[in-house]
Amino acid sequence: MDFFSLLALGMQVALNPVNLLYCLMGVTLGTAIGVLPGVGPIITIALLLPLSFGLPPEASIILLAGIYYGAAYGGSTTSILVNLPGEASSAVTCIDGHQMAKQGRAGAALAVAALGSFFAGTVGTMLIALAGPPLAAIAKRFGAAEYAALVFAALLMVAAMTRGGVIKGIGVALLGIIFGLAGSDILTGTFRFTFGVRELRDGIDFAVLAVGLFAIAEIVGNIASGDQGTVTTSKIGSLWPTRDDFRRSWPAVLRGTGVGSLLGVLPGAGMAMSSFSAYMVEKSIAKEPERFGTGAVEGVAAPEAANNAASQTSFIPTLLLGIPGSPVMALMLGAFMIHGVQPGPRMMGEHAPLFWGLIVSMWIGNLFLVILNLPLIGLWVRLLKVPYHWLYVFVLAFACVGVFTMGSSPFQVYALVFFGVLGYLLRAAGLSPALFILGFILGPMFEENFRRAMAISRGNAMVFVERPISLIFILLGLAVVLLATTSFIRRGREEATAD
C-alpha cells in the first residue's frame, strides 16, 4: 500500500465513532490534568491502564495518547492566567505569559499558545507518518542480534542522560531488569525469582508496578512537600491577537516547532527541555532581549510550540523502534504490550490499522484541543479550586480498587504499596523511577533477543560485532556513556579545583 492509502486506512480507524469518542475523552481529560498541578499524565495514564484492558487496542491507545498530548495544552492555561504551571514543560510559559495577562492581554497569549500548539502538533504528527516507511524498510534487515543491540544501546543512552549520574542510572535500570525477569523462563518455562509466591509465576503485573511507582509515589511526594499554590485570576481580554502579535509570533512558532521536533525524538529530553531550549533560542536571537520577561509574545509562542511538537515526535522512537525515551512513553509501551502489540520497526506492517489510526487520531485530537481550550478557559481555572486532599484521596482509592479488580487478590494491593514505597525512595535518593520501569520493560526484550541470537550463532558472541547494524548500536551506546562519564569527571575536577 502507498502512503496515501495507508493514511486513508488510518482515517477510517480514527473516524470510527467509538474511537472519536475516546479521542475526545482523552484530550479533554489530558487538558484537565494539565491544568491541575501535581496530577500529570504519568499518574493518569498509570491509573487508567487497568481500565484499558477491556477496550479494543485502537480505542485504548488513542485514549491514553490523547491524555499525554492534551496535558501539554492544559498546562499553558494556568501558566498564563494564574502563574501556576500544571506541567513542568509549561513553567517557562509563566515568564512572559503571566506578564501579558497582567497587562490585560491574557486572551491574546492563550490564542497564540493554542494556535502555535496546533501547528506544532500537526507538524509532529506528519513527521511520525513520514518516518514510518523508511524505518519499516530498515526493519527487514533486523534480526535477533540487531534487536538485542538496539535495546542495549537504548538502556545505556537513557541511563547516561538521566539525573543521578551514569553509574546510578545503570544501577536503577539493572534493578528494573531484575524485577522484569521474575516469572517463567522464556525458553525453559521454569519459574525464577518467584520465592514460592504463586501470584509471581506470570511475572509482576505492569499496571500494578506503574500505578505504584508513579501515581502513589508522586502523590506521597506532593503531600510531603506541602506545596499548594493559591489561585488568583486576571482579566482575559480579547481572544484575538493583534497584527503585531501575529508578526512576532509566527517565526517563533516555526523555530519552536523545529526545536521541539528534534529534542522530542531524543531519549531523556522530553517536553520540558524542549520548551526551555526554545525559549532560550528566542531570547538569544532577539533584537531586544530585554523584552523577554516583560510580556514578549515570542516567549509564549516558542515554548508552547516546542513542547507540543516534542509530545508528538516522542512517539517516533516508541512506535518505530520500540524504545521509550520518557516515563510516559514507557507507560505507553506497556499499554501496547498489554494488548499484545509489540512496537518496533515491524509495527507499521504487522499492525497497520493501529499505527495509522493513532497518527490520524493525533491530528484530530489536536483539532479538538483548539476547539476545546479557548471556550472552556473558565472551567479549567475553576478546577484549580478543587482541594488537594479531596483529589489525592480519590486517586488513592481509585488506584487500590483498580489494581484489586485486575486479579481479585490482596496481593495486588500489597504489590501496589511496595512499588509506591520504592518509587518514593528512588525519588528521595535523587534517582529516576523512569529508568526502573524502562529496565523492567526492556530487560526481558534484551534477554529474549540475546539468547535467540546466541542460539542461532551456536554460542558465538562475535555475532553482535560482525553484523554492521548491531555493531553501530553497541558503539553508539558506549560512546554516549563515555561522553557522559567524561563530562561528569571533568565537572567534578573543576568543582574540586574551585574549592
Amino acid letter for position 204: I
Distance CA 173, CA 166 (A): 11
C-beta separation of 143 from 453 below 8 A:
yes
Query: Given this model, what pLDDT does residue 1 score?
Result: 58
Q: What is the mean pLDDT of residues 286-300?
A: 82
The answer to whether 63 and 195 have CB atoms below 8 angstroms apart is no
Q: Distance of alpha carbon 242 from its chain centroid, rounded?
A: 34
Residues 105-142 pLDDT 10s: 777 888 888 888 888 888 888 887 777 677 666 666 77
Over residues 15-41, the mean pLDDT reads 80
Which residues are within 8 A (CB) of 415 and not within 5 positions of it... i.e. 6 or more apart? 204, 205, 208, 209, 212, 403
What local confidence, expressed as pLDDT, does residue 370 receive?
Answer: 79
* Its pTM surpasses 0.75: no
CA torsion sign for 252, 255, 258, 259 is negative
C-alpha to C-alpha distances, 277 to 84, 89, 255, 412, nearest whole angstrom = 20, 11, 11, 41
Per-residue pLDDT at 419 exceeds 50: yes
Residue 28 pLDDT exceeds 50: yes
Share of the chain above pLDDT 90, in %: 1
Average pLDDT, rounded, for the chain:
76
The region, left, alpha or beta by phi > 0 then psi within -120 to 50, assigned to residue 201 is alpha
Please name the residue ranges forming H helices in 266-297. Answer: 270-285
pLDDT of residue 316: 79
- Cα 320 from chain centre: 15
pLDDT single digits (tens) 219-255: 777 676 655 544 444 555 566 777 888 888 888 889 9
Torsion of CA 29, 34, 38, 39, to 10 degrees: 20
Mean pLDDT of 266-293: 75
Got the DSSP string for 440-493?
HHHHHHHHHHHHHHHHHTTT-TTHHHHSHHHHHHHHHHHHHHHHHHHHHHHHHH
- What confidence tens digit (pLDDT) does each residue in 441-482 have? 778 878 888 888 888 888 888 888 888 888 888 888 788 778
Check the CA dihedral 47-49-52-54 and report its sign. Answer: negative
Cross-strand pairs, 183: 192
Residue predicted with more confidence, 198 or 20: 20
Q: Is the pLDDT of residue 98 over 60?
A: yes
Residue 343 has pLDDT above 60, yes or no: yes
Q: Is residue 376 pLDDT above 50, yes or no?
A: yes
- How far, in Å, CA of 29 to CA of 48, rounded? 11
d(CA 303, CA 305): 5
Domain ranges within the chain, ordered by starting residue: 3-496
What local confidence, expressed as pLDDT, does residue 21 receive? 92
Please check whether residue 274 is in contact with residue 307, taking contact to mean a CB–CB distance below 8 angstroms.
yes
Integer Cα distance of 331 and 478 in angstroms? 26
Distance of CA 21 to the CA centre of its chain: 22
DSSP string, 89-115: GGTTHHHHHHHHHHTT-HHHHHHHHHH
CB-based burial of residue 243 (10 Å sphere; 0-12 exposed, 13-18 middle, 19+ buried)? Answer: exposed
Residue with cell 472551567: 379
Enter the C-alpha cell of residue 52: 484499558
